[in-house]
Structure 1
């Protein structure tokens, strides 16, 4: 099974980039990880690095995958964060989001797991097929049918390191099809796009590198032009998210963002519907 990827991570205007990304593409299986350290509490970048490193260190791309192994990778990452919390009092409340994708290349199977509000999107034949559900207060209110007006969209009720009694969310096993596309990204990235815009952008490119580049251009244009998006995406844990001092880009507070695009087979053969110059017609406010 052919797998091609593109990765991006940007600091925005924050003092540090608390995001971590990583991947292993082995002979039999592959693993992709995106983590976003929780702002407002000390050690978010430490928690993100521990989670990323623990999963990648334990993953073996020469072995086939199963649901139990994937659960062990994720619970192992959470345990490693909790152990570090006990060792260092200053890091006792650190936490991180996680979104991870695991692909068995021999059997064309995919599994994923997530904690917090970093997301995985799956596109099949060019259209959104599945997306993870955020572990956030806003998502809980939506699911219960209540208004979310006035609620801080950055408040999480679960992430790695925050609650030892909870576990991450795990997908069922998915049989892959040629042309499937995955996007793993932090909230600093997905806050800027509707699902329709993600679909439209996918229809205009021939490679994951082109797709990421197109979305980055749209992201940057929007974030530097619209005060409504300034600061979107800084997570908090049961308290308002900390916001770093504005530093540049028109004095706006722009969050870190990170993403990994994973293409299985040849998506462009089923998704390419428009030329790249058409992008301005579909996302004029972001590419104009």
Structure 2
């Protein structure tokens, strides 16, 4: 059964990269994003070879299990092809690619994924990330050591733990099957989009209900406005919906759209290695982890960073407390330069401080008892004293007390 819906694929070099190592494919039933890495030519070749092999699966399958098996086999064959290619072109050693593929079978989406490109599902107004990034920071998130928000800005956010490369002939690929329904919007993208445009803005763009082409253009514009430090590739798939049903020639974008990329061009020597390929995802070069020692090194580095954060947080807290204490002391000292006249039981008293209190902490103390009996004051004057009379200085407070004494004597 041919997929019923509409789709689009677009790819852009971004504002920093000089060439596009991403590849994207939107066909009749198959949709793929591959983010290549490994130097000037290596990334181009790796993502192109992935698309070249996977596009053979753009057909109707009799079952989801058959489609899932075909995806696994095709990705494994691509890994072997990358190994064979490096054997012919050793200057391409270290190249690799992510693969995020979606194969529609009846009312199901068959998904295969390796790396840090992503597949999202937008359904009923909610955006859900379907794939899990195979990155070092995602392991930290999964273990509860950092939050997803901290992961977005972690200095090691681009360290890949799994990738389709020229070192492993049997890559570990995530595959699973999900039901899909009319109105679903599937978004496949390289981290050139997800590393710049957050989920909230992505969901907003998808929720406008525009045609796939206009929606993809909107997402690309947001990535470019955000600096686009990496290549940006977007494949958007609508299931059913009001927009025209997709038929015709598949759309291939990025390096795979250039036949030279598939023909394995000569690469510039000395530009890449397995541990340090030239790939910029989410502003940082990507590294790969070929052994346990490298992972332990990264974990220890993260521990040191966490300790530094705790020390910096504690030092900042101490500074804030010190600044607050200094402010309170200065404020209290200022209150002790003020005076007012009030009542204490049955006499008129001059107080030092201000009339207000801070909770249980009084900001005034009796300074001088004038000896004037409240009962000798006229009723209105007595009420005024009980409400307190402010004075700018001790001399002014004593002047007020003298006037009250005269009023008391006149009232007696």
TM interval, shorter chain, is 0.7 to 0.9
Structure 1 residue aligned with 2:174: 169
Q: In 2, distance between residues paired with 1:136 and 1:52?
A: 22
Which piece of structure 1 moves more, 111-120 or 203-212? 203-212
Q: CA deviation at 1:41?
A: 7.9
Give secondary structure in 1 for the equivalent of 2:94: coil
Give secondary structure in 1 for the equivalent of 2:27: strand
Seen in structure 2, the aligned counterparts of structure 1 residues 203 and 60 have a Cα distance that, compared at 3 Å, is closer
The answer to whether the Cα contact below 8 Å between 2:79 and 2:170 also exists between their aligned partners in 1 is no
Q: Map 1:129-278; keep pairs closer than 5 Å.
A: 129-147=128-146, 151-161=155-165, 162-171=167-176, 173-223=177-227, 254-266=229-241
Q: Calculate the TM-score normalised by the size of structure 2.
A: 0.53
Give secondary structure in 1 for the equivalent of 2:109: strand
Q: In 1, distance between residues paired with 2:137 and 2:171?
A: 19
Q: In 2, distance between residues paired with 1:199 and 1:120?
A: 13
Structure 2 residue aligned with 1:16: 19
Largest Rg, 1 or 2: 2
Q: CA deviation at 1:206?
A: 2.4
Deviations 1:108-143 (A, max 9, x none): 111111111010001112312442111111111111
Q: In 2, distance between residues paired with 1:5 and 1:219?
A: 20
Q: CA RMSD in A?
A: 2.1
Q: Which has the higher contact order (CA 8 A, sep 6+)?
A: 1
The answer to whether the Cα contact below 8 Å between 2:79 and 2:164 also exists between their aligned partners in 1 is yes
Unaligned ranges ≥5, structure 1: 224-229, 231-253, 269-288
What is the number of residues matched between the two proteins? 231
Structure 2 residue aligned with 1:112: 111
Q: Calculate the TM-score normalised by the size of structure 1.
A: 0.74
Q: CA deviation at 1:40?
A: 5.1
Corresponding position: 1:5 with 2:10: no
Deviations 1:148-185 (A, max 9, x none): 575421111111014334311112x2221111111000
Seen in structure 2, the aligned counterparts of structure 1 residues 125 and 267 have a Cα distance that, compared at 3 Å, is farther
Structure 2 residue aligned with 1:271: none
